[in-house]
């Protein structure tokens, strides 16, 4: 029987250089889509999938992230005394149970694989999820929940997968698949950031994983891969060679790359348009600027 996945690692120790100068003092994961920080979307998705232990791999300068999950008693008291019940509810939904969150430091940004490895002692000998908060996925059924349900049937390792244009393969881990049919695709191999001419397919790995402890053993070797970093993709690919299956899960939903400025802006517009309180005004504004832009051309 496949063991239940109750732990998730959130690697947030990267430097977020694409958002400088903001990320000089604001962690990327605290930046907001409308009024909710990126990390809140990831936490909500994890909870929906049955995760009860949340492990953040952080680094210097990320204290705002730790503060975000603290109860703010002064603010709560103030809202209560003023009868602002709706806001109080918004705030309460972000509170985490004591002891549910752990923070581990990655002392040097040696790569995503290394960040995950830093959490090994808190994982022990059980399967775990990895979630990258800058991949935001809008879906009727949250992506990790879809994956957990599929994983209960398959076991092994599972990565979220999405088809990308051929010219974009060098931005992703890419799956080498035999037949690419159906929602769950067994991988024959995985390559980190291949050039389009070297890519075995255009099925890219997105920031949601369900992995077995064997991946952590593989990471013990701390082998450097693409870009001189210790890559999670390489450690998962090694499992394939050792006979542990790896499945790509083609999730149902729209993924936004909020680690890039263009993706972040698209997500902001999309999430704002999904909000009843903002939709009408924003729609009108977008319509007006697109029309005046067209008229100017």
DSSP string, 5-27: --EEEEE--S--GGGTTGGGTS-
Q: Which residues pair with 102 in a beta bridge?
A: 55
Q: Looking at 5-13, 74-82, 159-167, 209-217, which segment touches ligand UTP (CB under 6 A)?
A: 5-13
Does 31 participate in binding ligand UTP (rule CB under 6 A)? no
Candidates 49, 51, 79, 106; binder of ligand UTP (CB under 6 A) is 106
Q: How far is the CB of 276 from ligand UTP (least distance, A)?
A: 31
Does 110 participate in binding ligand UTP (rule CB under 6 A)? yes
Helix (H) or strand (E) run with residue 109 in it: none
DSSP assignment letter at 147: H
Rank residues 7 and 114 by Cβ distance to ligand UTP and give the closer one: 114
Structure tokens that stand for 134 in this block: 């800058």
Does 27 participate in binding ligand UTP (rule CB under 6 A)? no
Whole-angstrom Cα distance, residue 52 to residue 48? 10
Residues 46-85: x/- map of binding to ligand UTP (CB under 6 A)?
A: -----------x----------------------------
Does 112 participate in binding ligand UTP (rule CB under 6 A)? yes
Candidates 9, 13, 205, 219; binder of ligand UTP (CB under 6 A) is 13
Rank residues 180 and 260 by Cβ distance to ligand UTP and give the closer one: 260
Q: How far is the CB of 16 from ligand UTP (least distance, A)?
A: 5
Does 37 participate in binding ligand UTP (rule CB under 6 A)? no
Does 130 participate in binding ligand UTP (rule CB under 6 A)? no
Q: How far is the CB of 224 from ligand UTP (least distance, A)?
A: 12
Q: Which residues contact 108 (CB under 8 A, 6 or more apart)?
A: none
Does 18 participate in binding ligand UTP (rule CB under 6 A)? yes
Rank residues 79 and 131 by Cβ distance to ligand UTP and give the closer one: 131
Q: How far is the CB of 132 from ligand UTP (least distance, A)?
A: 4
Closest CA to 45 of 206, 169, 259: 206
Q: How many CA atoms lie within 13 A of 277 on its CB side?
A: 2
Structure tokens that stand for 72 in this block: 């703010």
Does 225 participate in binding ligand UTP (rule CB under 6 A)? no
Whole-angstrom Cα distance, residue 250 to residue 89? 34
Determine the distance from the C-alpha atom of residue 268 to the mean position of all C-alpha atoms in its chain, rounded to a whole number. 16
Whole-angstrom Cα distance, residue 28 to residue 26? 6
């Amino acid at each position: 029987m496949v063991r239940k996945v109750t732990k998730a690692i959130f690697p947030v120790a990267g430097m977020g250089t694409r958002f400088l100068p903001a990320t000089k003092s604001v962690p990327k994961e605290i930046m907001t889509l409308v009024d909710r920080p990126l990390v809140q979307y990831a936490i909500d998705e994890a909870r929906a999938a049955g995760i009860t232990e949340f492990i953040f791999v952080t680094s210097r300068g990320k204290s705002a992230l730790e503060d975000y999950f603290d109860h703010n008693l002064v603010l709560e008291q103030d809202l209560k005394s003023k009868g602002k019940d709706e806001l109080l509810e918004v705030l309460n939904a972000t509170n985490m149970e004591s002891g549910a969150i752990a923070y581990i430091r990655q002392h040097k940004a040696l790569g995503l694989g290394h960040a995950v490895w830093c959490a090994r002692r808190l994982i022990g000998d059980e399967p775990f999820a990895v979630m990258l908060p800058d991949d935001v996925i809008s879906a009727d059924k949250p992506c990790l929940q879809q994956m957990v349900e599929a994983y209960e049937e398959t076991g092994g390792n599972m990565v979220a997968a999405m088809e990308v244009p051929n010219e974009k393969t060098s931005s992703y881990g890419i799956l080498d698949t035999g037949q690419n049919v159906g929602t769950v695709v067994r991988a024959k191999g995985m390559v980190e950031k291949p050039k389009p001419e070297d890519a075995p397919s255009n099925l890219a790995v997105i920031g949601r994983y369900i992995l077995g402890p064997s991946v952590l053993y593989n990471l013990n070797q701390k082998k450097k891969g693409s870009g001189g970093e210790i890559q999670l993709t390489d450690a998962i690919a090694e499992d394939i060679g050792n006979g542990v299956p790896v499945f790509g899960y083609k999730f149902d939903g729209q993924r936004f790359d909020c680690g890039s400025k263009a993706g972040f802006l698209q997500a902001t517009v999309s999430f704002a348009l999904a909000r009843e309180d903002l939709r009408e005004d924003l729609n009108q504004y977008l319509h007006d600027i697109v029309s005046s832009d067209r008229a100017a051309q």
